[in-house]
Structure 1
Amino acid sequence: MAIESSTFSPHRAGARDFQRVEGDELIQRYPSLRDGSHLGAAEWLPVYYARSIPGGAVLREVYDEIKGRILDGLRALVAEAPLDGLFFDIHGAMSVDGLDDAEGDLIMAIREVIGADVLVSASMDLHGNVSDPLVSQVDIITCYRLAPHEDTWETRDRAIGNLVDALQAGIRPRRAHVTVPILLPGEKTSTRVEPAKSLYARIDEIERRPGIIDAAVWIGYAWADEPRCHGVVVVTGTDDAAISAAAEELGQAFWDVRDEFEFVGPPGTLAEGVDAGLAATDTPYFISDSGDNPGAGGTGDVTWTLAQLLADERLTAPDAPTVLVGSIFDAGALAQLRRYGVGDPVTVTAGARIDHGPHGPVTISGVLEGLYEGDPDAGGIAVIRVGGLRVIVTEFRKAYHAVEDFTAIGLDPLAAQIVVTKIGYLEPTLYEIQRGWTLALTPGGVDQDLQRLGHHRIQRPMFPFDRFEGAPDLTARLFG
């Protein structure tokens, strides 16, 4: 079960937010199982998988329903024959109403069904959180090594391969766990740039050491206010001394570069981004509406940025250059827009139905340039032309994080002067085509200014929130 949840977002993930996969479709989802490269002598049995795009905390009844489906599926399998291993595919930053450690709760419940002897291997996002219950119950645990996450499937395959290898070798690995008191947004810890680039580059050499199976560094998830939110290092292997030394080495390396983390893209205000984009001669110029990034947990309906764009006559004039704006969601607005035909003048009020803190709903008056149905995430989609602006209004939450998200609705980012989208660091296809970029420090549930959000439940002291009088305790603790 996978979702990244901002506890600062008023959105609540409901049943519709989760895509469900089971049966043979679940086996086919994983390349290494589909092509047989990690089958070995194993028989893979599908249980259940539910995944949502990032958002707010999950409604408790939805979590309980999905958890129940997973446990029922496991009970049915265990009743037929004992299990040897389990692949636990999670994100790691799921928040659930009423729980402080959702993944820990889930794996503890799973252990009650499958027993203590079944070997468990987990794949996680490096923006996940590794709690004591989680690391105590998962025998082999790994996470992405790239941000943006271009190694998502490689990481899952590694977790599957680690599981098969350990079962075939008849070993039960142990974990060395180091807590690193650092909490930073992903946009300051991208592996595209230093110091994260070099920090993660150390993993290959560590994994080649005798007695070590896997090494992983978690940046942690900054937009949840939970005690488990902080940096973590876990090294897995068969030699206690080797894994402990490696975990402490990586933990110290992480701590030593804490002051070097900076935004991966040029930060600035929205106004500075618009000025730079209009002045650009090499385009498209991208502006990240980072405070309301649905890919990190934002609601996707914060209107603060859209309101500023609509008030800028340089963008709304009839001869203004093309500026794509993705997006704002409002089911009621879509219902109204469906009454019109493409080419009709329209006026609709949209947004701020969930997160109305920074700005209220905005009125959009223009021409209906496109109307589309059937998007798996967005449902219905409308494009409204207001001078040079092409405002995307969706029925449900959707992240416009890839070129094809725009081209699917007739918008070509390459032909635009500016592309404004609710994102933090640019995902690969957008990064490839950008010719200039401002990471706009806008408000929302995933505000880059963590101090502005007001964490009060995280462990203290924590960098960069607090001063440290001395070095933190980076001693490895052994699990397993």
Structure 2
Amino acid sequence: MSTSSSTLPRIAIAGFAIESSTFSPHRADFRDFPIVTGDALVNRYASIAPGTQLRDAAQWLPVLGARAIPGGPVLANVYASIRTQILDGLAALLAEGPLDGVFLDIHGAMSVDGMDDAEGDFVSAVRALVGPDTVISAAMDLHGNVTQPLLDAVNLITCFRLAPHEDAWETRDRAIINLVDALRQGRTPLKAWVRVPILLPGEKTSTRVEPAKSLYERIPAIEALPEVVDAAIWVGYAWADEPRCNATVVVTGYDREVIAARAHELARAFWDVRDEFEFVGPPGTLAEGVDAGLASATHPYLISDSGDNPGAGGTGDVTWTLTQLLADERLTAEDSPITLCASVFDHEALEVLAQTPIGAPVDIAVGARVDSGPAGPARVVGILHSLHEGDPAAGRIAVIRVGGLHVIVTEFRKAYHAVTDFTAIGLSPADAQIVVTKIGYLEPELYDVQRGWTLALTPGGVDQDLERLGHHRIDRPMFPFDTFDHEPALEAVILP
């Protein structure tokens, strides 16, 4: 551990995160990574916001934060550029004196063209730069992947404990607090690591329901042990075909035997309930969802277009679902109840729609410019209901009305995962009979507003049917792809 001459420890902050489906033809470019620097980067973390005790406990040195919404793999030149910017920023801080700590805000499922372990490469580069004595603490998504290069490079590591991720910021603050505690104690913990040969989609491992709910509820009691600093369970990321994709348990602490036993305990508990995981929402076909939605006495009825969920890595322009909705006269007649369909993105279509008067008839092909696998562009013949500008994610937005069906077309990729995403463009989910949106499990706002729900098992880059996607590079055997001749040992590997 470094011994800075400053009274207060010097702690750098950097982040680089995306969730990448290798089955998605989308490629993440510079536009996908909003950059945050300076005080804005420090102040986003509640534990070190102005006026908190930890704010005055260290010199917080912002480098750069780059976090994208999920998508496909990152273009190699984009990854190299952001990686270099962060390393250059750290080097500039090191030129002023040693760093006592580094807090890294990462994901764990970032794929990069030509690489199999992007986070391992990135964090290893940070370690090589700052040296062996700087304490590195990382916060991750529970849908990330954990490899030995990553673990070798960090001293402290933790991940979310809720899915949906209502504890995302709490987790990042925990990683910061653990870092400060380690510096105060002048020692860093050991890590007990267990790879669990399970790979399941997030919609089958939500902590809203069993068995994941009880599995993750084991963590606080383990973390409360005096010999333990943190306990974490990673579900892993099912929509990448990489050798690192599997479930993982890591327990950090100061007693080798205790953390090994507790890591084995959590891993064994995960393995023992492997056959109990089911979809968090009622699964079904899109047609079954539409039938249920139209028959529902209460509204809105939510339908997840799960195969093209941009919140999990889908391109956001698969038109398979939209094409089916447009062909359903129960939705497109003038007297049909309101159905909201969010969304497809199409820059070229917006160029045309932006020049069209509100209320004018339109006949335009939209979507399937990035992922045309499940369906080609959808022909939308209707009335231009509204136009909007200024959305930082979506850019320009058009709403086309086809009878009761309101089709949302955006200039760029956007996930419609909150009620406010709709109300910002004058559409009220509460007034709609059906809301169809590209999502898997419902985020809290939509979960609270729904009066019925179908998790539609639709095609796309984050298809819930993993067999249909065709993994061939993951380690085998792997549940549920394979049967096991004998139980895995699930013994912990201890790392310094």
TM range, normalised to the smaller chain? over 0.9
- Among candidates 462, 485, 491, match of residue 446 of structure 1: 462
Is the contact between residue 284 and residue 435 of structure 1 (CA under 8 Å) also seen in structure 2?
yes
Q: Report the AA paired with residue 96 of structure 2.
A: E
Q: What's the secondary structure of 1:452's corresponding residue?
A: helix
Distance in 2, matches of 1:345 and 1:271, equals 28
Distance in 2, matches of 1:137 and 1:124, equals 14
* Structure 1 residue aligned with 2:405: 389
Is the contact between residue 13 and residue 59 of structure 1 (CA under 8 Å) also seen in structure 2?
yes
- Among candidates 265, 280, 286, match of residue 249 of structure 1: 265
> Within 5 Å, which residues of 2 pair with 1:220-231?
220-231=236-247
- Among candidates 180, 192, 200, match of residue 164 of structure 1: 180
Alignment pair present for 1:130 and 2:146: yes
Is the contact between residue 38 and residue 160 of structure 1 (CA under 8 Å) also seen in structure 2?
no
Q: Report the AA paired with residue 207 of structure 2.
A: T
Is the contact between residue 40 and residue 164 of structure 1 (CA under 8 Å) also seen in structure 2?
no
Distance in 2, matches of 1:142 and 1:39, equals 21
* Structure 2 residue aligned with 1:292: 308
Alignment pair present for 1:38 and 2:44: no
* Structure 1 residue aligned with 2:19: 4
* Structure 1 residue aligned with 2:198: 182
Alignment pair present for 1:24 and 2:39: yes
Q: Report the AA paired with residue 437 of structure 2.
A: T
Q: How many residues were matched structurally?
A: 480
Q: What's the secondary structure of 2:94's corresponding residue?
A: helix
Q: What's the secondary structure of 2:54's corresponding residue?
A: coil
Q: Deviations over 1:61-94 (max 9, x none)?
A: 0000000000000000011100000001001100
> Within 5 Å, which residues of 2 pair with 1:400-419?
400-419=416-435
Distance in 2, matches of 1:438 and 1:294, equals 18
Give the C-alpha shift of residue 210 in structure 1: 2.1
Give the C-alpha shift of residue 40 in structure 1: 4.9
Q: Deviations over 1:145-203 (max 9, x none)?
A: 00000001100000000000110111111100000000000000000000000000000
* Structure 2 residue aligned with 1:370: 386
Deviation larger for 190-199 or 107-116: 107-116
Alignment pair present for 1:268 and 2:291: no
Distance in 2, matches of 1:109 and 1:136, equals 12
How large is the RMSD of aligned CA atoms in angstroms? 0.7
- Among candidates 228, 232, 241, match of residue 216 of structure 1: 232
Q: Deviations over 1:214-273 (max 9, x none)?
A: 000000000000000000000011111111110000000000000000000000000000
Deviation larger for 293-302 or 109-118: 109-118
Q: Report the AA paired with residue 469 of structure 1.
A: D
* Structure 1 residue aligned with 2:7: none
> Within 5 Å, which residues of 2 pair with 1:64-213?
64-213=80-229
Unmatched 5+ residue regions in structure 1? none
Q: What's the secondary structure of 2:316's corresponding residue?
A: coil
Distance in 2, matches of 1:372 and 1:6, equals 30
- Among candidates 375, 398, 418, match of residue 359 of structure 1: 375
Q: Report the AA paired with residue 38 of structure 2.
A: G
Q: Report the AA paired with residue 170 of structure 1.
A: G
Q: Report the AA paired with residue 14 of structure 1.
A: D
Q: What's the secondary structure of 1:392's corresponding residue?
A: strand
Distance in 2, matches of 1:41 and 1:381, equals 45
Is the contact between residue 218 and residue 233 of structure 1 (CA under 8 Å) also seen in structure 2?
yes
Question: Structure 1 vs Structure 2: percent identity of aligned residues?
Answer: 69
Give the C-alpha shift of residue 376 in structure 1: 0.7
Is the contact between residue 6 and residue 296 of structure 1 (CA under 8 Å) also seen in structure 2?
yes
Unmatched 5+ residue regions in structure 2? 1-15
> Within 5 Å, which residues of 2 pair with 1:275-354?
275-354=291-370
Distance in 2, matches of 1:337 and 1:217, equals 47
Give the C-alpha shift of residue 473 in structure 1: 2.2
Distance in 2, matches of 1:381 and 1:238, equals 53
Q: Report the AA paired with residue 352 of structure 2.
A: Q
Give the C-alpha shift of residue 37 in structure 1: 3.6
Q: What's the secondary structure of 1:48's corresponding residue?
A: strand
Is the contact between residue 210 and residue 242 of structure 1 (CA under 8 Å) also seen in structure 2?
no
Q: Report the AA paired with residue 66 of structure 2.
A: A
Give the C-alpha shift of residue 345 in structure 1: 1.1
Q: Deviations over 1:304-334 (max 9, x none)?
A: 0000000000000000000000000000000
Q: Report the AA paired with residue 3 of structure 1.
A: I
Q: Report the AA paired with residue 22 of structure 1.
A: T
Q: Deviations over 1:1-20 (max 9, x none)?
A: 01000000000000111100
Give the C-alpha shift of residue 97 in structure 1: 0.4
Is the contact between residue 18 and residue 51 of structure 1 (CA under 8 Å) also seen in structure 2?
yes
Q: Report the AA paired with residue 278 of structure 2.
A: E
Distance in 2, matches of 1:428 and 1:167, equals 36
Distance in 1, matches of 2:55 and 2:249, equals 29
Distance in 1, matches of 2:406 and 2:437, equals 12
Q: Report the AA paired with residue 26 of structure 2.
A: H
Q: What's the secondary structure of 1:108's corresponding residue?
A: helix
Give the C-alpha shift of residue 112 in structure 1: 1.4
Give the C-alpha shift of residue 130 in structure 1: 0.4
Distance in 1, matches of 2:435 and 2:350, equals 22
Is the contact between residue 183 and residue 221 of structure 1 (CA under 8 Å) also seen in structure 2?
yes
Q: What's the secondary structure of 1:109's corresponding residue?
A: helix
